Structure 1
Amino acid sequence: MLVLKESDVYGLLSNITVPECNHLLNTLHNALRECTKDKHLSPSERTIHQPEREAITTTLGNTSLFMPTSITTTTGVKVVTLSSGGLKGAINLFTPDGVLLGVLNAAEVTAFRTSLAVMIPFVRYPHPKTNIVVFGAGRQAEWHVKLALLLGQVKHVTIVNRGAPRRMEQLFATLQQKYPDVKFEVLLKSAPDYDSRLRKYLKDSDVICGCTPATEPHFPASYLDSKPRYISLIGSYKPVMQEVDSDTLLSGGRRIYCDTKEGCLAEAGELIRAKVTEDQLIELGELLDDNPLTPDGNLVFKCVGLGIMDLVMAGELIQMAKDKGVGIVVDDF
């Protein structure tokens, strides 16, 4: 049994090469394809099992989520707690007969696998992806930036946030050394010229990423012109949350790409407010080839997360850690 601490997971993921990242991206996409395919099978034929996640909210205001998943060859359970201190928890990975293969810190895995899902449409988006605007400055925002730089031709990154966390300042300093030709900027919502600068950044943007649990849209649809953009939204996970207004959400010819139709329709406040129906959604698992995605307008992607994403990435990380001699081995668990 292998234990991977937060620093172990972060170190493994922060040092991945482009080929390793593409392998993880393809592995994740193939898992989502299998997940979509499996839903159309009879219960006796299914190899993927993802019960509805359970949530407990205590009187202290903390919410704990319990997410079991099985792909028959591997079973896993992720338990995380969302509090004012962010997301904390662990992923337990088991063999089919219940032997514990590993325990991984969940915070980095969750942020990475969600950002990696965002990259599935990103790499298939045929228009320029040089100018990126990211709302948020947490782990999710960090991995969006790092993966976009690794997999795209990014020249300008703008982080929009209420404050300037030390983590993001350190990240930009590191990335500037690695990508000297890329311009990195932070736009604080407290800036006196915030609105005018936000309009400019959005007008110049090719990619917009929402990474916050916002309850009000980050900007009105009027701030965007007719230029096509890739817009990803991963921050909202409750009906009361929304990162964009309905006009922006439906700016891709009223078609929206997603990780799970059922999850997005039940949890994503943007979709609920816009009265989006299942036939307007396209799961990533329905994309059986690697052809470019060319919607009528913006390419909009919404992700709320699936247990299989954690399970598959945990398995890949366990193998990667074994290959590189990372982690703590417990032989007598």
Structure 2
Amino acid sequence: MASNPISITTAAPKSPMFIPAESIHSLLSHKALIEHFSSSLPAVTPSINTPARQSYPVAGSPGASLLLMPSWSPHPSLPYIGVKLVTYFPHNSDRNLPGIHASYVLFCSVTGQTLATMDGTVLTLYRTACISGLASKILARNDCQVMVMVGAGALAPHLIQAHLAARPGVKRVIIWNRTVDKAMKLAERMRGDERFEGVTFESGQSLEEIVPLADIVSCATNSQEPLVMGRWLKMGAHLDLVGSFKPSMKECDDDAIQRAASAGRLFVDNKMAMEEAGELVGAMQRGVINQDEGIGGDLVDLAKGSTLGRAGDEEITVFKSVGSGAADILAAQLLYEKCLY
């Protein structure tokens, strides 16, 4: 992390750099980004200005959205302005394309100069997965051994890698997807990666059968209906919900939310989750939880240690993320400064 704004303005390139996907993969690791979030979120989040995400429907494309996510900071260790431009096209899986595409533009908050444009799609994959990884490091049991990955899209391998980085004791990963072949192909691809020696990867066809096995259940889908039922979660399980960012979307039922909330073990990445995540919006509407008492805290609270994450091995914990400009600008910072130094 840069020590002051002058070092950034002095080291900044004469013309903006472009950081493509290939460079992001070579410069970032899930472990390094989790560590960066762990140290930086508590320190600089109070200085980051993050307006509510703007979302606009795209006419002619059912369910498609354009999202704008700006943030900026005057903090000496984070002298940046960042804007992420995102398109969400949920039917792209029919075209064999990712549902999310993005670009991220980074400016200097001291001079206003454009510093870099980077592949926001890949940056978002790392950012999203590593936010879940940090939550898993805090909330999941220390003796985790089995992970279930619900969904086999572009985010799934990143979530698997982030959870493995956070919880290296996990030695078995079971992947589920509505299209069974996609789960099988992802499991095969992960098995062929030498970085995961000692970890077994397999696909499962029934969530009702595999969820009860899991110490960590991570979900990244576009589901409009609950996929994970609370009654399936074993004692001590950690449920990571990533996919939904609209009130109409949901990946688990009310029972899963209630099992965590009743013990104060329901957490969010930021307060916008209460307005955007279908699991939480629906649970509040039905009186399962309320905004004042249902949420145990956010990720900054957890990273600071001001909120207790897990009090016992039998507790069920739930973490719901919807994404934030604060996490984006921190991920962009780490990437940009690795390019500089």
Alpha-carbon contact 2:170-2:199 (below 8 Å) kept: yes
Counterpart residue number, 1:67: 69
Instruction: Say which of 264, 279, 285 aligns to 2:273.
Output: 264
Q: One-letter code of the match for 1:82?
A: Y
Counterpart residue number, 2:10: none
Counterpart residue number, 1:82: 88
Q: Say yes or no: does 1:184 pair with 2:201.
A: yes
Counterpart residue number, 1:144: 159
Instruction: Say which of 149, 174, 181 aligns to 1:134.
Output: 149
List per-residue Cα deviations over 1:254-307 (Å, max 9, x = no partner): 33111112x111101111111133332211111323976326720110100100
The runs of 5 or more residues in structure 2 that have no matched partner are 1-15, 93-98
For residue 274 of structure 1, give the secondary structure of its aligned residue in structure 2: helix
Q: One-letter code of the match for 2:107?
A: F
Alpha-carbon contact 1:264-1:302 (below 8 Å) kept: yes
Partners in 1 of 2:220 and 2:128 — Cα distance?
A: 10
User: Quick one: higher RCO (CA 8 Å, sep 6+), 1 or 2?
Assistant: 1
Alpha-carbon contact 1:5-1:105 (below 8 Å) kept: yes
Instruction: Say which of 111, 116, 131 aligns to 1:117.
Output: 131
Q: One-letter code of the match for 1:115?
A: A
- Structure-to-structure mapping, 1:86-97, within 5 angstroms: 86-96=99-109, 97=111
Q: One-letter code of the match for 1:90?
A: S
Q: One-letter code of the match for 2:199?
A: V
How far does residue 160 in structure 1 lie from its aligned partner after superposition? 0.6
Counterpart residue number, 1:206: 215
How far does residue 115 in structure 1 lie from its aligned partner after superposition? 1.1
- TM-score in terms of structure 1 length: 0.82
For residue 244 of structure 1, give the secondary structure of its aligned residue in structure 2: coil
Percent of aligned pairs sharing the same letter: 25
Q: Say yes or no: does 1:58 pair with 2:75.
A: no
Q: Say yes or no: does 1:301 pair with 2:310.
A: no
- TM-score in terms of structure 2 length: 0.80
How far does residue 169 in structure 1 lie from its aligned partner after superposition? 5.2
Alpha-carbon contact 2:80-2:106 (below 8 Å) kept: yes
Q: One-letter code of the match for 1:248?
A: A
Give the number of aligned pairs.
Answer: 297
Partners in 2 of 1:213 and 1:199 — Cα distance?
A: 19
Partners in 2 of 1:23 and 1:172 — Cα distance?
A: 20
For residue 139 of structure 1, give the secondary structure of its aligned residue in structure 2: coil
List per-residue Cα deviations over 1:62-109 (Å, max 9, x = no partner): 311111100122101000111133111200000012111111101111
Alpha-carbon contact 2:227-2:251 (below 8 Å) kept: yes
* Alignment root-mean-square deviation, CA: 2.2
Alpha-carbon contact 1:121-1:293 (below 8 Å) kept: no
Q: One-letter code of the match for 2:236?
A: P
List per-residue Cα deviations over 1:290-332 (Å, max 9, x = no partner): 9763267201101001001111101111122334xxxxxxxxx
How far does residue 147 in structure 1 lie from its aligned partner after superposition? 1.8
- Structure-to-structure mapping, 1:154-193, within 5 angstroms: 154-163=170-179, 164-165=181-182, 168=186, 171-175=189-193, 177-187=194-204
The runs of 5 or more residues in structure 1 that have no matched partner are 39-46, 188-193, 324-333
Alpha-carbon contact 1:132-1:158 (below 8 Å) kept: yes
